[in-house]
Amino acid sequence: MSNLLKDGLRNLRRRLRNKPPATDRMWKPSWLPKDFDCRLESQVHPHIARERAELFLAYNTGSTEIEVLNWLHSTVCLTKPDSILETGAADGLGTIALASACRDNGFGRVCSVENDPAVCNRLESTLRRYRLSKFVEVQCSDSLGFLRQTDHRFQFAFFDSMCEIRAEEYRICRDRGLLKGIAAFHDTSPYRTQSLSNLPPEALHGEYRRQIHELARDPRTSGIFENRLSRGLFVIFPNSTD
């Protein structure tokens, strides 16, 4: 056996040893493509005990929990928005969840704003693979710049870009009248910095939480929902008169 082949086998065995085993929980939402294997959130992302990460599923460290994605899909199916904003694409699972809901509704379109050209290219390829391209407009752009200039109007928004700019993204949408529906923010757990060493810094994460709570007190909103489990989800609801 050649040294090259031996090295290849050695590297493969190392990767397999370091790969968390797939969970024995068999639940998968119907919109999730079958080739996305889920693992326990506690296996792929650091958490403290009170976040109960072992009760959640995830694809990898960077992706949103499956339960949160399923909430996005279900909420879009319930509220029937024509236009949806997503900031930050990562592996594209959030886009798949939102676009699948548009497909299931029979109408609607997701505007996914991502500033990394490589991520945008992968996302477009992923959407073609799962036949969801017609439900998504990929904007390869800085989200703040895009939102300051766009004429798009949205009835639902999922803010999942860099944590330090998500509140500003929402503020621009609110002040320019771009968003007339629900705003959802990911990674809002108050315990996040207790398991992630300086990623983000405690002061930065605290400022993120402070800003979204302050924005939720605006008279143009009607209430909030906060889930502190796993990575956290914070939702701001609009006034029913909007």
Asked if pLDDT for residue 192 goes beyond 80, the answer is yes
Asked whether residue 206 is domain-assigned, the answer is yes
Averaged over 159-185, what is the pLDDT? Answer: 96
**Whole-number pLDDT of residue 91:** 86
Average pLDDT of the residues of the chain: 89
Question: Which range of residues forms the domain containing residue 125?
Answer: 66-238
Asked whether residue 56 is domain-assigned, the answer is no
Q: Are 124 and 110 in contact (CB under 8 A)?
A: no
Asked if pLDDT for residue 200 goes beyond 90, the answer is no
**Whole-number pLDDT of residue 196:** 80
**Whole-number pLDDT of residue 1:** 46
* Core vs surface per residue 60-87: b (16+ CB within 10 A) or e: eeebbbbbbbbbbbebbeeeebebbbbb
Asked whether residue 7 is domain-assigned, the answer is no
Three-state secondary structure call for residue 12: helix
Confidence of residue 25 (pLDDT cuts 50, 70, 90): low
Asked whether residue 137 is domain-assigned, the answer is yes
Which tops the pLDDT comparison, 225 or 13? 225
Q: How many residues does the chain have?
A: 242
What global pTM score does this model have? Answer: 0.87
Q: Are 190 and 209 in contact (CB under 8 A)?
A: yes
Helix axes 93-105, 66-79, angle to 10 degrees: 30
**Whole-number pLDDT of residue 120:** 96
Asked whether residue 12 is domain-assigned, the answer is no
Asked if pLDDT for residue 152 goes beyond 50, the answer is yes
Which of 17-21, 22-26, 56-60, 119-123 has the least mean pLDDT? 17-21
Q: What is the CATH number of the domain that holds 77?
A: 3.40.50.150
Asked whether residue 61 is domain-assigned, the answer is no
Asked whether residue 233 is domain-assigned, the answer is yes
Measured CA to CA, the distance from residue 55 to residue 197 in angstroms comes to 23
Asked if pLDDT for residue 177 goes beyond 70, the answer is yes
Confidence of residue 23 (pLDDT cuts 50, 70, 90): low
Number of alpha carbons in the 13 Å side-chain half-sphere of residue 219:
0
pLDDT tens readout for residues 87-144 = 999 889 999 999 999 999 999 999 999 999 999 999 999 999 999 999 999 999 999 9
**Whole-number pLDDT of residue 90:** 86
* Structural domains of the chain, count: 1
Report the sign of the C-alpha dihedral through residues 214, 233, 131, 108, in that order.
Answer: negative
Which of 13-17, 167-171, 238-242 has the least mean pLDDT? 13-17
Asked if pLDDT for residue 46 goes beyond 70, the answer is yes
Residue 45 has a CB neighbour count (10 Å cut-off) of 21
Quote the distance between the C-alpha of residue 101 and its chain's center. 15
Asked whether residue 186 is domain-assigned, the answer is yes
Identify the CA nearest to 104 among candidates 135, 129, 126: 135
Residue 154 has a CB neighbour count (10 Å cut-off) of 23
